[in-house]
């Protein structure tokens, strides 16, 4: 079943003073509350969007929050967001405490009766523990944590083959989604380039960072009995069906 509802995520993107202009109708069954894990390049964002479209859950991406904030003036940013953007401009990782403040500002989104899919948070054990404490305080709970698995060689191939349009930012892939004309965007004709963080050397560094900070979350959620492991091979629809099958088989909703 695909929901017609399309949440504009105003409260999530803009912060606690904002309110979504459209809220989901009460669902006939309890909403899903999910966290997605997986190394860069496994397709978490794609799966989060499919889960949103087909389950009616709201896609809560911390990356989208940062991108939206970078386009606004300082007057429209909370102190936590201003601090986060300063770290990002210096090329630094945003500290756990700052990321947590940004999520905590938006805790109303976690209570939304449409449910949610958290994509990009938590990234560390400290963030996961803070999220657990907040949800216990709010008397809500996660249904499951989905860990998307893919061999390292496949991840490197997926990311290093990307090419991005300099003008409209559309993304192509040399093997999986090549442009019709070599080096040119299909949409606007702009030149394609290889982003520095998509180069093989950078991808390997990103994967090492993931293993150090985020991979321990697998054991954390396994001990809580929430972990569902899903192979991230095949088409997005195949991975989605595998995800739903694993959720329905392993958890009472």
All domains in the chain, ordered by first residue: 10-150+227-250 (3.40.50.300)
Question: In terms of residues, how long is the chain?
Answer: 253
How much is the pLDDT for 75?
Answer: 52
How much is the pLDDT for 47?
Answer: 94
How much is the pLDDT for 74?
Answer: 55
Sign of CA dihedral 121, 125, 126, 130: positive
Closest CA to 42 of 115, 144, 120, 94: 120
How much is the pLDDT for 72?
Answer: 65
Distance CA 68, CA 125 (A): 26
Q: Is 41:52 a contact under the CB 8 Å cutoff?
A: no
- pTM score of the predicted model: 0.82
Quote the DSSP letter at residue 30: P
Distance CA 141, CA 120 (A): 18
How much is the pLDDT for 118?
Answer: 95
- In angstroms, the first-to-last Cα distance of the chain is 16
Q: Is 27:11 a contact under the CB 8 Å cutoff?
A: no
Residue corresponding to tokens 């698995």: 149
How much is the pLDDT for 117?
Answer: 94
Residue corresponding to tokens 């403040």: 101
How much is the pLDDT for 2?
Answer: 44
CB contact set of 192 (below 8 Å; sequence gap of 6+): 163, 164, 165, 166, 172, 179, 183, 184, 185
How much is the pLDDT for 7?
Answer: 58
Residue 244 neighbours by CB distance under 10 Å: 16
Residues identified as active-site: 44, 123, 162, 195, 206
How much is the pLDDT for 111?
Answer: 86
List the chain pLDDT tens, one digit each, 253 residues.
444 445 567 777 777 666 776 655 555 467 899 999 999 889 898 899 999 988 888 889 888 888 777 776 655 678 888 888 888 888 777 888 898 998 998 888 898 888 999 998 998 999 999 999 999 999 999 999 999 999 999 999 889 999 999 999 888 999 888 999 999 999 999 999 999 989 999 999 989 988 888 889 999 999 999 999 999 998 899 999 999 999 988 655 5
Q: What are phi and psi of 64, to 5 degrees?
A: -65, -35
In degrees, rounded to 5, the angle at the alpha carbon of residue 199 between the alpha carbons of residues 42 and 213 is: 50
């Amino acid at each position: 079943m695909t929901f017609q509802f399309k949440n504009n995520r105003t409260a999530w993107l803009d912060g606690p003073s904002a309110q979504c202009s459209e809220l989901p109708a009460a669902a006939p069954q309890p909403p899903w509350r999910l966290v997605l894990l997986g190394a860069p390049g496994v397709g978490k964002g794609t799966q989060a969007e499919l889960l949103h479209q087909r389950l009616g859950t709201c896609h809560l991406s911390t990356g989208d929050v940062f991108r939206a904030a970078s386009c606004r003036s300082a007057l429209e940013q909370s102190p936590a967001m201003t601090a986060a953007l300063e770290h990002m401009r210096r090329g630094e990782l945003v500290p756990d405490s700052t990321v947590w403040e940004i999520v905590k500002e938006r805790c109303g989104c976690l209570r939304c009766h449409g449910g949610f899919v958290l994509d990009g948070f938590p990234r560390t054990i400290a963030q996961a523990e803070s999220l657990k404490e907040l949800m216990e305080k709010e008397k809500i709970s996660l249904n499951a944590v989905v860990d998307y698995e893919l061999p390292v060689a496949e991840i490197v191939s997926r990311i290093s083959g990307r090419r991005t349009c300099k003008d409209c930012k559309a993304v192509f892939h040399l093997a999986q989604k090549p442009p019709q004309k070599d080096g040119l965007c299909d949409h606007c004709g702009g030149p394609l380039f290889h982003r520095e963080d998509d180069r093989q050397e950078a991808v390997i560094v990103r994967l090492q960072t993931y293993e150090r900070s985020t991979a321990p979350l697998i054991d954390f959620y396994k001990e809580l009995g929430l972990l569902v492991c899903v192979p991230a091979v095949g088409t997005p629809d195949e991975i989605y069906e595998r995800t739903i099958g694993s959720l329905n088989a392993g958890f009472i909703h």
